[in-house]
Amino acid sequence: MTHDPAILDALRATTTATLTTILLKKGIRNTWMRGPAALYHTRERIVGPAFTLRFVPMREDLATPESWASPTSTRGAIEAMPEGAIAVVDAMGVKDAGIFGDILCARMQKRGVAALITDGVVRDGAGVYDTGLPVWASGVAAPASVAGLTFVGWQEPIGCGGVAIFPDDMIVADGDGAVVIPAKLVEEVALAGLENERLEMWIMREIERGVPLPGLYPPDAETKARYEAQKDA
């Protein structure tokens, strides 16, 4: 799915905190992933469509080093990732088996993948950092994925950090974590986000002037009218 560059720019200008509030007002409450935290190269806000990957609990006959050569492997999934996508990985919150290491992250970076987001952990932490790939994860662990997980597929609905993610949903990630926007709401949310950021910047200026909070935040009808008049001036 392709998106208007202006929509992507609008999302890059909108914090995840603002996006969760906008989605809340639209009745979408469960949007912020629990577990993925800003880990490496996360100073800039990252926006892109979700490319989903899914692990299930480790099963001894399937979770083996030999499985890494299987057509259904993380290696195969990485080769299917389009440029600009954000890899969102359901690792069930497992923190003692690293889903990707430096070599896999280096390949993702080479393919132009925008970021890796997982409720699990990575391994080879220093090497992953050196690839330059932006990563949101629960941390770092030395054991390989097969020590605790079985990889089963990609580009299907997943749960990451307790949030339902469907392929091509829009992901926005910054220092506060990662948020999903349902694909059908992307344009609407992006435009609302940009306007909300403008309003909050104006409110911050009003606070600096000494205006008290009641009626200002959230803005009442009088405040909204004053904002609109100054915005259009």
Q: Each residue of 62-104: pLDDT tens digit?
A: 878 888 788 789 999 999 999 999 999 999 999 999 999 999 9
Shared-domain flag, residues 214 and 150: no
Domain ranges, residue 135: 29-181
Taking only the tens place, the pLDDT of each residue in 25-58 is 999 999 999 999 999 999 999 999 999 999 999 9
**Residue 46 has what pLDDT?**
98
174 and 196 co-located in one domain: no
Q: Are residues 129 and 225 in the same domain?
A: no
Which CATH number do you get for residue 87?
A: 3.50.30.40
Q: For residue 19, is it within any domain?
A: no
Condensed to tens digits (0 to 9), the pLDDT of residues 186-230 reads: 999 999 988 888 888 889 999 999 999 998 898 999 888 888 888
Q: Is residue 1 part of a domain?
A: no
Residues 86 and 192 both lie in one domain: no
Is 10 within the bounds of a domain? no
173, β-bridge pairs: 46, 178
- Same domain, yes or no, for 215 and 104? no
Question: Which of the 8 DSSP states describes residue 220?
Answer: -
Q: Tell me, yes or no, whether 137 lies in a domain.
A: yes
In a domain? residue 14: no
The pLDDT of residue 149 is above 90: yes
What is the dihedral sign for C-alpha 93, 95, 101, 106?
positive
Q: To which H or E segment does residue 203 belong?
A: helix 186-208
pLDDT at 2: 58
Residue in 205, 88, 197, 99 with CA at minimum distance from that of residue 151 = 99
Query: Does the residue 18 lie in any domain?
Result: no
Q: What is the pLDDT of residue 165?
A: 98
Q: Do 54 and 159 belong together in one domain? A: yes
Structural tokens at position 82: 């389009």
Say whether both 177 and 192 belong to one domain.
Answer: no
Asked whether residue 10 carries a pLDDT value surpassing 90, the answer given is: yes
Looking at the fold, whether 168 and 212 belong to one and the same domain comes out as: no
Look at residues 148, 164, 181 and tell me which one is the last residue of a structural domain: 181
Predicted pLDDT of residue 1 = 56
Q: Which of 181, 203, 223 is the last residue of a domain?
A: 181
- Distance CA(208)–CA(117), nearest Å, equals 37
**Domain boundary at 162, 181, 200, which?**
181
Predicted local confidence at residue 69, as pLDDT: 80
Residue 21 lies in a domain: no
Distance, in Å, from the CA atom of 11 to the CA atom of 195, rounded to the nearest integer, reads 11
For the chain, the domain total comes to 2
**Which residues contact residue 60 at a Cβ distance below 8 angstroms, ignoring those fewer than 6 apart?**
none
Q: What pLDDT score does 159 carry?
A: 98
Amino acid identity for residue 11 in this structure: L
Same domain flag for 121 and 209: no
How many Cβ atoms are within 10 Å of 145's Cβ, its own excluded? 28
Does residue 214 share a domain with residue 111? no
For residue 180, name the pLDDT band (cuts at 50, 70, 90).
Answer: very high
Per-residue pLDDT tens over the stretch 136-145: 999 999 999 9
225 and 166 in a common domain: no
pTM for this one?
0.90
Residue 71, pLDDT score: 78
Domain assignment present for 12: no
* Residue 96: per-residue pLDDT: 96
- Do residues 136 and 176 both lie within one domain? yes
What is residue 230's predicted lDDT score, i.e. its pLDDT? 86
Q: What is the mean pLDDT of the chain?
A: 94
